[in-house]
Amino acid sequence: MKEFICIESFSGAGGLGLGLQDAGFEIGAAFDLQPQAVLTYIKNLSDKCFVADATKLTGAILMERVGIQKGELDLFAGGPPCQGFSNQKRGAHLGDDRNHLVLEYVRLVREINPKFFLLENVSMLGKKRGKLFIKAIEKELVDYSLYPHFYNSADYGLAQTRERFIIVGKRRDITASFQIPPPTVAIWKTVGEVLADLPEPPIDSRQEHPEYANHYRANITDLNIERFSHVPQGGGWKDIPWDLRLKCHQNADTSKGGWPDVYGRLKWDGYAPTITGGFDSFTRGRYGHPHENRSITPREAARLQGFPDWFEFYGNRSEVRHQIGNAVPPFLAEVIGRNIIETLLEVKSNKLSNEKLTQLV
């Protein structure tokens, strides 16, 4: 058993769990509502992950699984969906029906009373809504100091400009300081650096590469392949000849923008945009391979998310791509986890020092 224990809620496939494990945390328990995501977690990380509905769980149940008492857990982590905060037009509040899972997360924090909590995957539309969200959480969790921050994944080793809004909460009786981790790289990694050594997937989209799990093509029509063949690196639908364009693009005014990422091709020496659950089609965004006339494969998307090649995703194609697209980049989770552990080590060191002074007196 490692020295520091975490419980992960809304775990998905385990991007956050992998990063926290690499940082030095032991996964005491983890849960998610999606069975295939749980299977992926179990196969790759820990058999302590289980299928559960957060609304049916209690802090007591989770603590019993880990074998700890209230107040003993080092970290409670997770990313409950928060659509109400993302789409609100008149401010954000925890009472919005779309934020019921955030309320469940907050309830579990109260019931477990961990030393730290980590709340991620909150989609914010501007700093103003971010402030409203933080105030709402502060009101609900008054025993914690909050450290909210927008993290650009490219600053932490990914070839992807994915931005995550993450709140770290430190229980107020933990007197050691916590620091928001600064960027770990000075120069952003490029798409080419990440994908360079991957061989092409089999031509038959039904087949997976024999040496690389989840490395297979999406089933794309010949017409879409022809359209995409005209798109240069960094280009999009505006580069497709008029007679080959979709009807909506034929009628569009190219001078007024629109969605330039549709039919977008990645740049080999550039960076990927946010990898979402729709990455297997360049009709949904800039997910076209830099050199090949196809969308990126799940394995390529997983690499852009920071997953190692040994990490295999389970489920049908839709489930796999959503597991990858919804994941927290492990590199980012690791660096935050390390800073939490540094704080916990300082607490332990101070406690030992105080005990020695007491003995001397």
**Residue, of 85 and 197, whose pLDDT is higher:** 197
Lowest mean pLDDT among 232-241, 246-255, 298-307: 246-255
Looking at residues 239-261, what average pLDDT do you find? 78
Predicted pLDDT of residue 98:
60
Predicted pLDDT of residue 225:
94
Distance of alpha carbon 335 from alpha carbon 224, whole angstroms: 40
**Residue, of 88 and 250, whose pLDDT is higher:** 250
Band of residue 125 on the pLDDT scale cut at 50, 70, 90: very low
Cβ distance 331 to 307 under 8 Å? no
Number of H helices, E strands in the chain: 12, 7
Residue 206: closest CA among 316, 324, 319, 323: 316
Lowest mean pLDDT among 31-45, 253-267, 287-301: 253-267
Predicted pLDDT of residue 358:
60
Query: H or E element: which one contains 11?
Result: none
Predicted pLDDT of residue 106:
93
The answer to whether residue 82 is catalytic is yes
Predicted pLDDT of residue 227:
94
CA distances 68 to 106, 115, 142, 311, 346, Å, are 19, 13, 23, 30, 21
pLDDT at position 253 over 80: no
Query: H or E element: which one contains 5?
Result: strand 4-9
DSSP 199-226: PPPPSSTT---SSSTT-------HHHHH
- In 98-123, which positions are buried (b, 16+ CB within 10 angstroms) versus exposed (e)? ebbbbbbbbbbbebbbbbbbbbbbbe
**Residues 200, 204, 209, CA angle at the centre, nearest 5°?**
45
Residue 27 φ/ψ region, left for φ over 0, alpha for ψ in the -120 to 50 degree band, beta for the rest: beta
Predicted pLDDT of residue 15:
97
pTM of the model as a whole: 0.91
Looking at residues 84-89, what average pLDDT do you find? 52
Looking at every residue in the chain, the average pLDDT score rounds to 90
pLDDT at position 156 over 90: yes
Cβ distance 217 to 292 under 8 Å? no
Distance of alpha carbon 24 from alpha carbon 2, whole angstroms: 7
Return the bridge partners of 165, or none: 150
Annotated catalytic residue: which of 6, 49, 82, 248? 82
pLDDT at position 361 over 60: no
The pLDDT tens digits for 311-329 are 999 999 999 999 999 999 9
The pLDDT tens digits for 28-56 are 999 999 999 999 999 999 999 999 999 99
Band of residue 68 on the pLDDT scale cut at 50, 70, 90: very high
Residues in the chain: 361
Looking at residues 107-129, what average pLDDT do you find? 82
pLDDT at position 346 over 90: yes
Fold of 4-185+333-360: Rossmann fold (3.40.50)
Looking at residues 164-184, what average pLDDT do you find? 95
For residue 357, give every residue at least 6 positions away whose Cβ sits within 8 Å of its Cβ, in sequence order, or none.
none
Q: Hey, where are the domains in the chain?
A: 4-185+333-360
Torsion of CA 115, 119, 125, 127, to 10 degrees: 10
pLDDT at position 132 over 60: yes
- In 139-149, which positions are buried (b, 16+ CB within 10 angstroms) versus exposed (e)? eebeebebbbe
